[in-house]
Amino acid sequence: MKPEIVVWLVRDSCRIADNPALNRAAKIASERSAFLVPLACLEPRRWADQQFGVPRTGVHWARFRSESLQSLREALMGLGSHLWVSAEEPVYALNRAHESVNIVTVVCDHPLATEERLETARIEAEGYSVVSLGVDELFRFRSEQFPFELDEFPATFSKFRKVAEKKPGLVPDAPSKVPGLPPCIDQPWPDPVEWTETFDYALSPQTEVPTPGGESQAQAHWRTYLDAEALSHYKQTRNAFYGPMQSSHLSAWLAHGCISARQIWSDTLAYEAQVGANESTYWLRFELLWREYFRWYSRASDWTLFRRSGPNDKELPGDHNMTRFESWKTGHTDCDIVDAAMRELHQTGWMSNRARQLVASHLIYELNLDWRLGASYFESQLVDFDVASNWGNWAYIAGVGPDPRGGRIFNLNDQADRYDPDQSYRRRWLS
């Protein structure tokens, strides 16, 4: 008789703490006296595919994800469990495992974008029982928390914010505790080469704030940031091009699910109670609301988020001139602040939020390129890439997404003078 297993399918939630999917999988396994199998898949569509001639996954993201999965495996082993890693798409990995085990249930985070929804549908079509949960959202949707359905989701952030901030009782759930974990069984295949090879990717020595992947690293960084009381000046410094304490630098760990937005929200409230509340402490929660908005906006928009006209179905100029695109990618345009930021991105997988807005504005409105070229290149290069924030923000700047003003055009010279007045950032990356 084949052993029964409950699969926790790890997508973008590489952590143990405050993980509703892991908690649910552990509960189901315990109730069924089944084994619990955490499974992470390196889907070929993400690791090997290209879009607009650009790889879907670059070395910075792959390094961080590999480190995060290794950290997760070590943490699970410390709790008497394990992590299976496969180079296949989830449905194929499940089918291969099903030859030797009986898969009772597959538990995963609720699919965020179109590809993930199709992936979940394929698993269900194979006859597997699937339980999907909101893992990395602040709020529980389709419940008493929100007064609208997904097809009525607000078209602008301001409308969403009014609900999120003013509806009585609308607060994130408290972070959940780590459950006791049922035992795992041995992985039926060797670790994939695609995964182990990425351990050879080194963190760029030019990275100002090192971001090694993993839950323990996320928790240590967040604690250091709070202990330094940098949160108290977050709003004033967050748009700086560089500086180790100028922004929270949490985005990579959030994107890979090494730390939860709920924990950051909860810890920020605790910080306010201990140190004091001000506009900056509020502003970090404000940015978490933006992240939350884009996650639900992605689900509501579905595939329209990725078309040229965007969810707004707005016709835009812009071509696919590869010469202009290459000059932008490599940091060889006629704009020094854009060139500095693009070279930083290439070397480190990172650039500040303000710099992202400026280079996007340059590509769309000065180079007259299709905005999706920029979004695809960011997807390839960013260590903190997540589909909703990246594509939502690019659609916003292009004016085909949730911006009520129809797009954002920045005066790059004025922005450079304001945020890099002594040109130290430009000298660093252009010298």
Q: How far apart, in whole angstroms, are the C-alpha atoms of residue 396 and residue 380? A: 19
- Statement: residue 352 has pLDDT above 80: yes
Q: Amino acid identity, residue 430?
A: L
Q: What is the mean pLDDT of residues 202-219?
A: 92
**What is the pLDDT, as a whole number, of residue 33?**
97
pLDDT single digits (tens) 364-373: 999 999 999 9
Q: How many CB atoms lie within 10 A of CB 161?
A: 16
**What is the pLDDT, as a whole number, of residue 143?**
59
What is the residue-averaged pLDDT of the chain?
93
**What is the pLDDT, as a whole number, of residue 355?**
97
Ranges 76-80, 202-206, 228-232, 351-355: which has the least confidence: 202-206
pLDDT single digits (tens) 276-299: 999 999 999 999 999 999 999 999
**What is the pLDDT, as a whole number, of residue 9?**
97
**What is the pLDDT, as a whole number, of residue 284?**
97
Query: Read out DSSP for 121-182?
Result: HHHHHTT--EEEE--S-SS-SSSTT-SS-GGG--SSHHHHHHHHHHSTT--PPPPPPPPP--
Q: Can you read off the two tokens belonging to residue 383?
A: 């260590």
pLDDT single digits (tens) 129-150: 999 998 999 987 665 677 777 8
Three-state secondary structure string covering 33-81: CCEEEEEEECCHHHHCCEECCEECCCHHHHHHHHHHHHHHHHHHHHCCC
Q: Which domains does the chain have, with CATH numbers?
A: 4-135 (3.40.50.620), 304-430 (1.10.579.10)
Q: How far apart, in whole angstroms, are the C-alpha atoms of residue 378 and residue 372? A: 10
**What is the pLDDT, as a whole number, of residue 151?**
83
Q: Amino acid identity, residue 153?
A: F
Q: Can you read off the two tokens belonging to residue 134?
A: 């909101």
Kindly list the strands in the beta sheet with 102-109, ordered across the sheet, starting from the edge strand earlier in the chain: 84-86, 35-41, 4-10, 102-109, 130-133
Bridge partners of residue 5, in order along the sequence: 35, 103
Q: Amino acid identity, residue 131?
A: V
pLDDT single digits (tens) 234-249: 999 999 999 888 999 9
b/e code 27-46 from CB counts within 10 Å (16+ = b): bbbeeeebbbbbbbbbbeeb
**Could you give the maximum distance between any two Cα atoms of the chain, in Å?**
71
Q: What is the pTM of this model?
A: 0.95
- Statement: residue 124 has pLDDT above 90: yes
Q: What is the mean pLDDT of residues 191-215?
A: 89
**What is the pLDDT, as a whole number, of residue 50?**
84
Least Cα distance to 11 among 40, 45, 37 occurs for 40
Q: How far apart, in whole angstroms, are the C-alpha atoms of residue 268 and residue 278? A: 11
Q: What is the mean pLDDT of residues 98-103?
A: 95
DSSP 399: T
Q: How far is CA 337 from CA 51, 327, 342, 351, 363, in A?
A: 27, 14, 9, 12, 13
pLDDT single digits (tens) 299-333: 999 999 999 999 999 999 899 999 999 999 999 99
